[in-house]
Amino acid sequence: MPNYKYRAYDADGKIIESTVLARDEEEVARQLDELNLMPVFIEKQESKKQTKKIKMNIKDDVVLLFTKQLHTMLKAGIPMLLALQTVKEQTKDENFKQIVETIRRDIEQGSKLSDAMSQFPKVFSSIFINAIKVGEISGTLEESLLYMHQFMEKDLQIRSDVKKALRYPMFVIIGIIGAFFVFVTTVIPNFLPMFQGTGHALPLPTRILLGVYTLMTDYGLILFIVLVVTTASLVYYFKTPKGRFFLDKNLLRLPVIGNFLQKVIVARFARLFYTMNRTGVNITETLHIMQKSLGNMVYNKEIETVADNIIKGESIADALRRSRYFPELLVDMVAIGEKSGSLDDMLLSVSNYFEEEVNNMVQNMSSLIEPVITIVLGGMILLLALALFLPMWEMMNLL
């Protein structure tokens, strides 16, 4: 929010000049009226655009530590401004120091913590801002910070598990593609004169590899351009809502990986639902926030439908049961929580269960993917072997 410079008379008729943080001049006038001041001059100060100069590539663990430190100090009774000043001095990230200083300065000038943080949407998510806002209204800011710290800690762990799980298959796929490329460009050329000298039609596997070799050697530049254009087009398409939905839907259908991603999303859903419900955010606002936070367009659409059904009067469990993307365990636990008044406890239990499932799948990912990799690798080896040995057998038969 911008700063406004004002000049006003107090109750004794003295002139007071100062600045105040507000959205517009009308809000400035309201604030002055509450202070029994009569404004005679209000002027918006030119913004120095400090926030634009600050780089927003702040690591998640920096925000996590900030949340923990701020919760600890506020719970210990340290005033907000002093707590922010202490956090700023302790952090090693220079960009984050500027962010904390901007927040501290805005609060000093009358802004709320949630409003000051909302200037940095790339650093503090909508989940974070809403939890802080509810905590300010209800007087439970320390608890909101604690729940956000717990959520962020678990969320970071899940994301780390996802990266760890996908790292192995990615390395294997890259290795297979690299081996195929080396074989076609180095082995096939040595046998090419022998194959062409037979005068007979070559077997299909051999013709496939020779075609790939010819394409790479004679039309390498064209192939490179086609690959670049195709990749750029796919990246652009997958960034569109329609393309992203197509990609997310098909990722969920993949063997092993699809099941893993569904468990990750359900774990995040339950944890986020628990956190928002615990901090006092209403159900419809919680579901709206989830649509921006789960990172999957298919689930975003399902949650939108769930929210509409809840608004129409359905229970949360009944609305979730209509979707085939939410497991029965989650739906049953939510139903029990609604009936018994222990929804938070049920959501926390479901979240812990699926987080443990995700962790187990990460630990066993290599054994789960090995059958698929074995089939792909075996198929490639079979193709390469047939491409080399079938022509040689034919030559031996001729001799």
Provide the mean pLDDT of the chain: 83
Q: What is the pLDDT of residue 228?
A: 94
Tokens of 194: 């022998």
Q: Is 290 exposed, middle or buried (0-12, 13-18, 19+ CB in 10 A)?
A: buried
**Is the model's pLDDT at 164 over the cut of 60?**
yes
Residue whose structure tokens are 């639902």: 273
Q: Which of 14, 46, 19, 45 is nearest to 32 (CA)?
A: 19
Do 330 and 338 form a contact (C-beta atoms < 8 A)?
no
Q: What is the pLDDT of residue 200?
A: 65
Residue 169: CB atoms within 10 Å:
18
Cα 69 to the chain's mean position, in Å? 24
Overall average pLDDT of the 306-323 stretch: 90
Per-residue pLDDT band for 293 (boundaries 50, 70, 90) equals confident
Q: What is the pLDDT of residue 298?
A: 92
Q: What is the pLDDT of residue 45?
A: 64
Residue 106: CB atoms within 10 Å:
19
Spell out the alpha helix ranges (H) of 4-140. Answer: 25-34, 50-53, 60-75, 80-90, 94-108, 113-117, 126-138
Residue bearing the bigger pLDDT, 195 or 251: 251
Overall average pLDDT of the 344-357 stretch: 90
Return the C-alpha torsion angle 13, 17, 21, 26, nearest 10: 50
**Is the model's pLDDT at 202 over the cut of 80?**
no
Return the C-alpha torsion angle 293, 160, 151, 318, nearest 10: 50
Q: Which of 121, 119, 148 is nearest to 132 (CA)?
A: 148
Lowest mean pLDDT among 39-53, 206-220, 338-352: 39-53
Do 136 and 114 form a contact (C-beta atoms < 8 A)?
yes
Per-residue pLDDT band for 197 (boundaries 50, 70, 90) equals low
Residues 6 or more apart from 78 whose CB is under 8 A from it?
86
Residue 224: CB atoms within 10 Å:
11
Pick among 3.90.105.10, 3.40.50.300, 3.40.630.10, 1.20.81.30: CATH of 158-218+252-399: 1.20.81.30
Q: What is the pLDDT of residue 399?
A: 57
Q: What is the pLDDT of residue 346?
A: 92
**Is the model's pLDDT at 20 over the cut of 70?**
no
Q: What is the pLDDT of residue 248?
A: 92
Q: What is the pLDDT of residue 138?
A: 78
Q: Which of 102, 99, 79, 82 is nearest to 91 (CA)?
A: 99
Q: What is the C-alpha to C-alpha distance for residues 220 and 75, in angstroms, rounded to an integer?
A: 65
Overall average pLDDT of the 151-167 stretch: 82
Q: What is the pLDDT of residue 125?
A: 85
Angstrom distances, CA of residue 386 to CA of 69, 208, 212: 64, 11, 15
Overall average pLDDT of the 354-371 stretch: 80
**Is the model's pLDDT at 51 over the cut of 50?**
no
Residue whose structure tokens are 């297979």: 176
Helix axes 141-182, 257-279, angle to 10 degrees: 170
**Number of residues written out for the chain:** 399
Kindly state the percentage of the chain with pLDDT values over 70.
91
Give bridge partners of residue 19 from the DSSP assignment. Answer: 5
pTM beyond 0.85: the answer is no
Per-residue pLDDT band for 107 (boundaries 50, 70, 90) equals confident
Q: What is the pLDDT of residue 195?
A: 65
Per-residue pLDDT band for 211 (boundaries 50, 70, 90) equals confident
Long-range contacts from 181-189, C-beta under 8 angstroms, 24+ separation: 183/384, 184/209, 184/212, 184/213, 184/216, 185/213, 185/216, 185/217, 187/388, 188/213, 188/387, 189/213
The CATH number of domain 55-152 is 1.20.1260.10: no
